[in-house]
Amino acid sequence: MAALGEIYVNDAFSAAHRAHASTEGLAHVLPAYAGRSMQAELDALEAALGTPQRPVAAVVGGAKVSSKLDVLTNLVEKVDHLIIGGGMANTFLAARGIDVGKSLCEHDLKDTALAILDKAEQAGCTIHLPYDVVAARDFKAHADHRIINVHEVAADEMILDVGPAAVEALGDALKVCRTLVWNGPLGAFELTRSTLRPWRWRKSWRRSPSRASYAR
């Protein structure tokens, strides 16, 4: 691969952390540089996390805490609000003693999740987790589902998304922030847009942020 060129320019920011032959490998055998797109990404990160306009919020989603450990540990020292969503939110809920049924959850990382929560508290970072959720027994389009308090998840149910009260509360938290960093997917995005989104027509239902989200 290196024989095909004279220099190597990396503009693939999203893959720059991976030790692939086409990225990290080439940089060992050719003069290597960051490209303009890479520079733009780094400049944006510096503006968002290095010298941001505060308050700063970060939204982190994804399936597993284990894949975002470094991101979460680093963010709690840099942001004012950390919104944890996706499957990893279940791990933090379980770490707090909440039964998440058969939801995607890394139960073996309970201590890690608690350590991140403690570090956030020491850093003055507020972590937001859902107060209400959309739960179903099956992960499929148009599955029977219900909106419930996070403490009401049955043993045979799984959490697939946040509920309307959590959406409203998180929206209120974001309104006061001047910088937002987003990493990873949230919710049952594999399903159709209309599926598991019953609160789209219930926007008038509001709760106070103190009741609608866990904050620490």
Question: Using one digit for the tens of pLDDT, what is the confidence trace for 185-207?
Answer: 886 654 544 444 443 333 333 33
41 and 60 both lie in a single domain: no
Question: What range does the domain containing 59 cover?
Answer: 55-215
46 and 59 both lie in a single domain: no
- What's the predicted TM-score (pTM) here? 0.76
Q: Of the candidates 18, 35, 51, which is a domain's last residue?
A: 51
pLDDT (tens digit per residue) in 116-139: 999 999 999 999 999 999 999 998
Q: Of the candidates 32, 51, 70, which is a domain's last residue?
A: 51
pLDDT (tens digit per residue) in 21-48: 998 999 999 999 999 999 999 999 899 8
So what's the pLDDT on residue 62? 86
So what's the pLDDT on residue 168? 94
Mean pLDDT of the chain: 86
144 and 178 both lie in a single domain: yes
**Domain tally, the chain:** 2
So what's the pLDDT on residue 127? 96
So what's the pLDDT on residue 65? 87
| Local confidence band at 96 (pLDDT 50, 70, 90 cut-offs) | very high
Q: Which of 74, 108, 73, 76 is nearest to 94 (CA)?
A: 108
Residues 6 or more apart in contact with residue 82 via CB below 8 angstroms: 57, 58, 60, 72, 75, 76, 120, 125, 126, 127, 128
72 and 136 both lie in a single domain: yes
So what's the pLDDT on residue 137? 96
So what's the pLDDT on residue 15? 87
113 and 164 both lie in a single domain: yes
pLDDT (tens digit per residue) in 35-90: 999 999 999 989 988 999 999 999 998 888 888 888 899 999 999 999 999 899 99
Compute the distance between CA of residue 126 and CA of residue 82 in angstroms, rounded to an integer.
6
89 and 4 both lie in a single domain: no
So what's the pLDDT on residue 188? 62
| Local confidence band at 208 (pLDDT 50, 70, 90 cut-offs) | very low
